[in-house]
Structure 1
């Protein structure tokens, strides 16, 4: 893995309770047997030196069976020693074993079809996640009805999903922030054209009605260990309320 770009983006949101909240967003690590321990240590070092309130990981942490990479995954638990780490499943996590991944990332909080409420500057904020769309092929429940009830709870909400396609749930329920990954930003130009045929967004920051949408290019690679015109990224999303002057 090449050294990722570290981005800090100001994201406009409506709810004043979110003003100043800083989220470290990681996605699509695709850790496999080829993934070097030195690369993981370098990534963790970068993250630990950043200023943020909590971490979200939007799926595809692994790209092989957990038993082959236990020593690598163990290192990631250190990320949660000081700040909370929330994650949701990606299609690769489900394929290679989400149950085993959950056991290994014992310090992380899995939010598939779940909600967690945090306190930020005296205000309650909900963080909601949903299982990946791939779950149905493995008889894993993806509960859109339950997730919609969480999103419509009248509290400022951050919604985690793996694929950009789930932005519609966020917009329908007037969710303040929707974050996802999956696309790798196309990974290798011009394959981004194919990604755009099946996903509503490729990468970057977008706004739909009252919802801010961020699609990460992710950290790892899938298939060919190569990127072109789609650099890997670590992103700090700094939320700025439109109602705070």
Structure 2
């Protein structure tokens, strides 16, 4: 209910704004065009809310019929509102200058001049703004869909760790996050990710949360290709916030069956000289399954570098205080759709890429999937090969 209120109220206001600019301003009162436009806006709002509600209550094979139109429209609504908002100032200037025509109110030279609106000019300006905004929003969303649904970018990022043995220099970790299997992304998405990772012949694979948006019963088959992941030292997984919304205990057991090793506030030594540690997502606190750095790092060899798998970048503060050398995270989607990338720093210390907090390196993946709209603008999906290098 809280989720629906947080998203439902703004989208309702957004539809009201679109109705004013795309229907009321572009049509004459009591005309068929205005009635059709009004019904269309109401229908679009119902379609969007159906995507938010129904997809949470039906299996993905049925939910996709609500998710595709609803979430694509959500992206269009967002960018239409931005385009129309940007056009507000020139629209008002044009209306003031061109949409009003002086008309003499009387015959005498001293009679005042009355200013009356010219409906045809007002309609022309409103329709021009509506068409221009629609073309702009449609173009942005179309481009964003090709980015979101295409192959993730393959990034190579070198990271120097002071404690890394020279013999382990060049150790490569395939990092992938936020795959978001659900009504819009299924088995073929997983197969593509597995294929791209296997082609890199990584030493280790790290899946840092938000694998699914649904239960094992609904999405177990979609996740099954993960059993085909190949690396020299294994594949590892930590929970993201969406796992807790999807039955995290069942998913932990399922991934274990698939050969993807869950790290639940625990760690192990890899390749004889790298401490790989995983902590639960902060959302787990509400499920009695929160992060525990003390437990995760207990017994680790402090002479070896510690590589931490943690879904949210915000946990880097704790990581740094516990002497972690490198934290691998996701969660942010890189903002997914501009301008959300400017809002991420309000909650997280990193939006995407490599950064440093005190003595701890932090790498934040943009993720390989998407949440909500199948659209990515300014934040293409990625799979990252982290190459560890020794300082010597």
TM-score (normalised: structure 1): 0.91
Aligned equivalent of 1:116, options 268, 272, 287: 268
Deviation at 1:81, TM superposition (A): 7.4
Task: Say if 1:152 and 1:200 are closer, same or farther in 2 by CA, change over 3 A.
Answer: farther
Q: Residue 317 of structure 2 is aligned with which of 168, 190, 200?
A: 168
Q: What residue in structure 1 maps to residue 366 of structure 2?
A: 217
| Contact 1:159–1:179 (CA under 8 A) maintained in structure 2 | yes
Which of 190, 203, 206 is 1:56 aligned to? Answer: 206
Counterpart pick for 1:157 among 300, 303, 306: 306
Residue 22 (structure 1) shift: 0.6
Q: 1:89: Cα distance to partner?
A: 0.3
1:48 Cα offset (Å): 1.2
Partner of 1:43: 193
Higher strand share: 1
Change in 2 beyond 3 A, CA 1:81/1:210? closer
Secondary structure of residue in 1 paired with 2:150: coil
Residue 78 of structure 1: CA displacement? 1.1
Name whichever of 193-202 and 180-189 sits farther off.
193-202
Larger radius of gyration: 2
**Partner Cα distance (1:83, 1:98) in 2:** 24
Runs of 4+ more than 3 Å apart: 80-83, 148-154
Q: CA deviation at 1:147?
A: 2.8
Query: Given that residues 176 and 383 in structure 2 are in contact (C-alpha distance below 8 angstroms), is that contact kept between their aligned partners in structure 1?
Result: yes
1:74 aligns with 2:224: yes
Whether contact under 8 Å (1:12, 1:212) holds in the other structure is no
The residue number in structure 2 matching 1:2 is: 150
Cα distance, 1:149 vs. partner? 3.7
**How far did residue 152 of structure 1 move?**
7.4
Distance between the aligned counterparts of 1:199 and 1:47, measured in 2?
Answer: 27
For structure 1, the residue ranges without an aligned partner over 5 or more in a row are none
* 1:135-191: CA deviation from partner (whole Å, max 9, x where unpaired): 111222432332354567442211110100111122222322111010000000001
Please say if residues 266 and 297 of structure 2, whose CA atoms lie closer than 8 Å, have aligned partners that are also in contact.
no
Coordinate RMSD, CA, aligned: 1.8
Secondary structure (helix, strand or coil) at the match of 2:327 reads: strand
Alignment of 1:90-169 (within 5 A): 90-105=240-255, 106=257, 107-119=259-271, 123-149=272-298, 153-169=302-318
Instruction: Report deviation, 1:36.
Output: 3.5
How many Å apart are 1:96 and its aligned residue? 0.5
Higher relative contact order (CA 8 A, sep 6+): 1
Preserved contact between residue 204 and residue 235 of structure 2 (Cα < 8 Å): yes
Cα distance 1:126–1:91, how it changes in 2: closer, same or farther (>3 A)? same
CA distance 1:137–1:152, shift in 2 (3 Å): farther
